[in-house]
Amino acid sequence: MNSQTRSRTETITDGQQPSVAVIDHVARVAGVDPLELEPLYDAIDPDVLDTVCTAAGFTTLEFDYCGYTVRLRRAEENVQIDLESELPDPTRSSDTVDSEPSA
């Protein structure tokens, strides 16, 4: 099965908690209100996420959340959020219709 991958990147601003930034970014990319998303703690402990991403020596962290692979990575002095989602192959139809030949 062929698929396409879509990636979106955002930099976490100073003073913003990584857990909140992930929720906000996923909601924007998905086009939904953040309150419509499943709880982040179903994917990762938000306190651990905030602590790990701000710790000295942090490089990368990856987890799945709401149909996206979320990758947080150190980029110079900032942390960036990369979202990757698998999209269906546009050449394949998701709708299949069974039809019988008419007589």
Strand partners, 39: none
Q: In whole angstroms, how far apart are CA 81 and each of 37, 58, 63, 102?
A: 17, 13, 11, 54
- Summarised one tens digit per residue, pLDDT across range 88-103 is 544 444 444 444 555 5
- Summarised one tens digit per residue, pLDDT across range 40-50 is 999 999 999 99
Question: Are the C-beta atoms of 11 and 78 separated by less than 8 Å?
Answer: yes
Cβ neighbours of residue 15 closer than 8 Å, sequence gap 6 or more: none
Domain positions in the chain: 3-87
Give percent above pLDDT 90 in the chain: 66
pLDDT of residue 87: 59
Cα gap 93→26, rounded to integer Å: 26
Q: What is the pairing mode between strands 3-11 and 60-65?
A: unpaired
